[in-house]
Structure 1
């Protein structure tokens, strides 16, 4: 019973879908009704079965002056390498430094991790060196940055 009902539903929905595609659908930029070819004529044009005997249009002739030539470009000169003039400290961030170059450009050094930290109004480089310490219970430490790190005698 379910198989027949499902088959009947599938056939009816397929017929309705095919019929709906043949019904003219208004489009935003569609021509007014009656000005264009009908459904059958449009289908023939789509398949290339139209009986239009018009010849293909010839492309317009272009003057030779507008066509690019295949000449080689003149050999360029090497520019002198730009040199860093001064650091632009106003632009500095914990992850980047900026430099004014001799040719007017700006060069940046960017890092994924902070390489500098602000100490008052100045920027200081992050020091990652671990040195021996005199602090009781610890053998090594890094106390040169804002964050201080201590390492004990026993790991864990």
Structure 2
């Protein structure tokens, strides 16, 4: 299992089924202190609105209340960038898990008080992505 990093995400593949990967990500987020505030079934919505079919694609909007509070205290308009998204999708029959890179996302704000918060979120979300990949390898 390899974790890949881009300028705006950290991601991996998993051998878990799509639904198992969604459930694993949800459980690991909860263990890390994040609630899933929203869940968007992108494939279903695009099918409903545009009549297109695509492979499964789910967005989990995750939030750690304590870190969100700290961030909002430092930057009241931070809510425009919340929650942090974790994405599980299937591409070519392979399941991928990806999370936003919070340090890159929050760098647009230009508030150094957010740096330690972004660092903590980055560590947490990177660990979730990595563990979903590892879980697939162990099964």
Greater Rg by CA:
1
- Tell me the TM-score normalized by structure 1: 0.16
- Tell me the TM-score normalized by structure 2: 0.18
Q: Name the structure, 1 or 2, with higher relative contact order (CA <8 Å, separation 6+).
A: 2
Higher percent of residues as helix: 2
